[in-house]
Amino acid sequence: MAGHSKFKNIMYRKGAQDKKRSALFSKLSREITVAAKAGLPDPDMNARLRSAIVAARAQSMPNDNIRRAIEKAAGNEMDNFEEVRYEGFGPGGVALIIETLTDNRNRTATNVRTAVSKNGGNLGASGAVSHGFDRRGLINYPAKAGDPDTVFEAALEAGAEDVSSSEDGHEIWTAVDSLHEVAKALEAKLGEPEGVKLAWRPQTQVTLTSVEDAQQLLKLIDALDDDDDVQTVWGNYDVPDAVMEQVG
């Protein structure tokens, strides 16, 4: 699932994810089930579940899949998943935070470490890079939701902290505690968002000017995305358009 970067830099990954839709649905289903298990199965009473459903709908996940994922939480066949976070560095000194949902820590740790080390990176201890990120709420809207001024005004009135708009969409940042309150207020004005989640926002960006580093970083992120246990990869990278064009 998409990590943080400017929108122009994640189009490549969105295209790759379209080709792996069944795997993506599996990850979305897992998050829905875990969210429903952790709280009430009613999205109106469970903010995490509502966010998971919004993310699933944004990827055109069928309603039947969403319903089955919620119902699974009430059954006894559900695996006991736990959230585990890994931190480290990728090509070009990019800082990465890798969030997973796993029922086997040893398997996940081995797979994540292998994917990172084989693609020019290395894992560090807990806290190795997260000090360079801020924990924030993130709400995503497509460009068609409104022009930058309209979205900015709506976000300001809703209590958001910051807004970043581009031709590809809008990123609306909030305090962690006010994420779902802001999302609900925005939904009344802009419609349903593409995503509502807790995010890691980098305090500084690493600009990759090397085509080789950019290629290897995208390969690393794809390798992590291919792992069923990996839910989200966050990074402090920025790849200029000229470099992305050479990456292809």
Distance CA 9, CA 126 (A): 27
Q: How would residue 77 be classed by pLDDT, with cut points 50, 70 and 90? A: low
Q: What is the pLDDT of residue 19?
A: 54
Distance CA 198, CA 6 (A): 17
In the DSSP assignment, the letter for residue 123 is E
Instruction: List the chain domain ranges.
Output: 7-72, 82-131+204-237, 134-201
Q: What is the pLDDT of residue 78?
A: 59
May I ask the CATH class of domain 7-72? mainly alpha
Q: What is the pLDDT of residue 141?
A: 95
Cβ neighbourhood burial of 70 (10 Å; 0-12, 13-18, 19+)? buried
Fold match between 82-131+204-237 and 134-201? yes
Cβ neighbourhood burial of 74 (10 Å; 0-12, 13-18, 19+)? exposed
In this prediction the pTM is 0.85
Distance CA 65, CA 63 (A): 5
**The domain made up of 134-201 is a member of CATH 3.30.70.980:** yes
Cβ-based neighbour number of residue 88 at 10 Å: 20
Given a cut of 60, is residue 241 above it in pLDDT? yes
Please check whether residue 230 is in contact with residue 98, taking contact to mean a CB–CB distance below 8 angstroms. yes
Per-residue model confidence as pLDDT tens digits over 122-149: 999 999 999 999 999 999 999 999 999 9
Distance CA 96, CA 207 (A): 14
Distance CA 196, CA 5 (A): 16
Range with the poorest average pLDDT among 10-19, 60-69, 190-199 = 10-19
Is the CA virtual torsion 15, 148, 5, 46 positive or negative? negative
Could you tell me the two tokens for 9? 């830099």
Share of the chain above pLDDT 90, in %: 71
Fold of 82-131+204-237: Alpha-Beta Plaits (3.30.70)
